[in-house]
Amino acid sequence: MTANTVVGVPTETAAGERRVALVPKVVEKLRSRGLDVVVEPGAATAALIPDDAYTAAGATLGDPWQADLVVKVAAPTADEAAKLRRGASLIGFLAPLTAPAGISALREAGVTGYAVESIPRISRAQSMDALSSQANVAGYRAALLAAEHLTRFFPMLTTAAGTVPPAKVLVLGVGVAGLQALATARRLGARTTGYDVRPEVAEQVRSVGAQWLDLGIEAGGSGGYARTLTDAEREEQQHQLGKAIGGFDAVITTAQVPGRTAPRLVTAEAVRGMRPGGVVVDLAGESGGNCELSEPGGTVVAHDVTVTAPLNLPATMPEHASELYARNVLALIELLVDDSGALRPDFADEIVRGACVTGEGE
């Protein structure tokens, strides 16, 4: 009798990382498919999920690193990669474009790695789109941070002492995170406006009740991302944005291009032009930042404007971020196993092929 495929869930060790790759509800679904699940004791403590919840769902507690398939959130460290057995598979945010040394370590270890950020952005893969699920969390948190740091109310208030106008919020880069930031800021009562170089997202901006800022610069690219602007386009964009930003109380930036430095959208001069007490929330800190004054992972005050560039916002909401990520991982695992639960990836499938960044030493 063939042994069941074993899925391992280790503790995340990256600084500030509170998420876990699988939650008990997903463990139950994997067990129903005939897979065994081994969870490292305390793996979800930071996400406030006790070990008992995993054992009740059918998992066992133990060493996850010798499993057939190890699932993580962040890429493994060199020491963690060394714990993986040769021939094993790994799922996680493996950063193939920005951390080639980690990919090389997996290749040398004989591990088949599936990077969730490399999953093709096609309709059939939407349930596996971890970039989008975590971007939703980041966009939501960004709007809350803007409200927290702003020295003014977000909503309009009518009081006996008079009327307070609503804050004006501008979101630059309207992907999943940007749309969620717009929607959340509007729920908080702000007057919202969105900008992106991809003109096709204008309708999505309006669908969440925001206005569209049209600067006359269009740069739609492939895979849902914007192309790189020419020098002339970039100069004109910064000039136009510099004039527009001064009319907003809060600016949230989310523009990123995979594997490249984030585009510079908010200059120091633009920050200088904002009203005192304003705020810039820069979600692109990990790739250099969209704001010239951003300090990745830090908060600074310049010209009486707060500029904050938080890193890994999804980890600050570990419960729902883990739940969403676990569903993404489940959908990918279901594509990698056959009806009996055996790990048999079909590399002719464009999703499997696209996600796989190392395989059998290649």
Residues with catalytic annotation? 121, 126, 129, 132, 225
Spatial separation of the C-alpha atoms in residues 65 and 155, rounded to whole Å:
50
How many helices and strands (H and E) does the chain possess? 11, 16
What is the DSSP code string of 319-354? Answer: HHHHHHHHHHHHHHHHHHB-TTS-B---TTSHHHHH
Of residues 67, 73, 55, 54, the one with CA closest to residue 11: 73
Of residues 178, 118, 36, 154, the one with CA closest to residue 359: 118
What does the DSSP 8-state code read for residue 230?
Answer: P
The burial class, CB within 10 Å (0-12 / 13-18 / 19+), for 87 is exposed
Backbone angles phi, psi at 115, to 5 degrees: -90, 120
Quote the tokens at residue 112: 């088949």
The amino acid present at 80, given as its one-letter code, is E
* Sequence-distant (≥ 6) Cβ neighbours of residue 259 within 8 angstroms: 97, 98
For 123, what's the count of Cα atoms within 13 Å in the CB-facing half-sphere?
0
Spatial separation of the C-alpha atoms in residues 301 and 94, rounded to whole Å:
34
